[in-house]
Amino acid sequence: MLIPYDSADIIATIPSRMATDTDYQKAGAEYLNVPKSDPAYIRFQSSLLIAMDGMKRLQVPSSAMEKKPWIFELRTYESRSETSGINKVQMFNAGEIPLMQEVGLSPVFFAQTVVGAQMPNLVYMVSGENRDEHKKHFGAFSAAPAWKKLSSDPQFKDNVSRIVSIFLKRTPASQI
């Protein structure tokens, strides 16, 4: 689940607002009151992400209006230190974001993790019609002269130590 907010201050009020929201409590009663013997989940994990300067707002793919099948790739880039993590964010802002838009990777968001697991890291999501088309767009990204120039720039050397990629499908409840 991805929930955008305009301010981190709003996030701190969520638990108390949910606890006192009678409509939420009523609608979620079955889920909120599951028995110990049949929990809805084991645990969940949350992260606080700050949007990168190169794309400050979530961009909903045009396919969302039609609710047609669509895939999403959630990518996490882990870095060896805070400095190398900040350097990778700078690299995205220096040209990776507009290039991804240009080659049709349909970016949804780009963000730096400020609270969460496996820090330091950044997280972003790109999307596409299907895996084959998505792979073609990433191929165009990798072959682009702008990427070759940016990735060979010595100031951005070795700023990622591990990449985790997860593919997701649109669900009926999805707003993106």
Give the mean pLDDT per block of 10 residues along the chain (176 residues).
Answer: 85 90 92 92 91 94 78 97 97 97 96 95 95 96 97 96 94 80
22: its two tokens: 């009678």
pLDDT, residue 49, reads: 95
| Integer Cα distance of 22 and 61 in angstroms | 33
- Strand 71-78's sheet: what is its strand order? 48-51, 109-115, 121-128, 71-78, 162-169
- The β-bridge partners of 162 are 78
**Separation of alpha carbons 89 and 159, rounded Å:** 9
Q: What pLDDT shows up at residue 65? A: 72
pTM assigned to the model? 0.88
Q: Report pLDDT for 9.
A: 85
